[in-house]
Structure 1
Amino acid sequence: MLAVVVIGIFLAHRTRFGNQVYAIGGNATSANLMGISTRSTTIRIYMLSTGLATLAGIVFSIYTQAGYALAGVGVELDAIASVVIGGTLLSGGVGTVLGTLFGVAIQGLIQTYINFDGTLSSWWTKIAIGILLFIFIALQRGLTVLWENRQSSPVTRVNIAQR
């Protein structure tokens, strides 16, 4: 799995494909106007996602030594929370693979603490992850609004000809 992370970092930050993905995530219309084929890049993103989901399913089946199709039900919240806690914006265009890895580590620490404590129900894991997800989404939204207000504030320009 470490190899997948290293390859993901390389793809995201060192290849043209990674730059196109960030551009489309930021604003698909702008990316299209810059000459990026948003349709083919989106298809390649879905193909990569399918391949990684297949790999995850195989690894999970080996880990559980079973092939039960409904074993991963409920993991969606954990996946989204890991990505958001890692700093990826749900609106797109911002995020890193290492940030997502950090989010997975934080989530793993929470689950491990609740399991080792023994006095808490396993539902507290979902509650804690949900609260963290809410906090991080609110924080991201607040920072986005602050950034947009900062960008749209009028800037006083000095006309060089008036000097």
Structure 2
Amino acid sequence: MSAIAPGFRKIVSDCRGSLPVEFAIILPLVFALVFGVIDVSRVLLARSLLDHLAVSLSDEVKFRAPETVRSGLTEEALQVKLSTLAPDLVGGLIDVTRLGVSVRHYASLADFVSGNVLLEEGRPGALTAYHLDYAVTLITPFMNYLYSSEEVTKSAVVVVKNGL
């Protein structure tokens, strides 16, 4: 028994090779954490840029578009206007082809909250809501456990009162 104990102690106290094993265990976790932080940052950046784009789009329509153009503005025309605004405002950080825009007109803020959409175009004194959507593709494979799919759709809504 005394002959086995010194050999066993030598094997147990031998630390050669422990660093590569620890490195192999820790490295995937560190990479997962880094890419997870990158994914969350991309989602937060997309939300921030969407807010900026929504405000810029509403300002462009309200202050720079003529009244005749403003009254008959369709979602397709807004999409074109957004695709011309976006490269200057956000550069290449958002893929313009993945941006969605919709516009709704409401008589009052109570109608906006309850979802009662006006059938007519935005008349003076009414509210116009610009709703932008953008789908962010996640790069970390296991982030779909945090989110419901491989893409996270972020939205921004801006409500402005039409001029009198």
Q: Normalising by the residue count of structure 1, what TM-score does the alignment of the two structures yield?
A: 0.23
> Relative contact order: is structure 1 or structure 2 higher (C-alpha 8 Å, sep ≥ 6)?
2
Which structure: larger Rg? 2
Q: Compare the two structures and name the one with the higher helix fraction.
A: 1
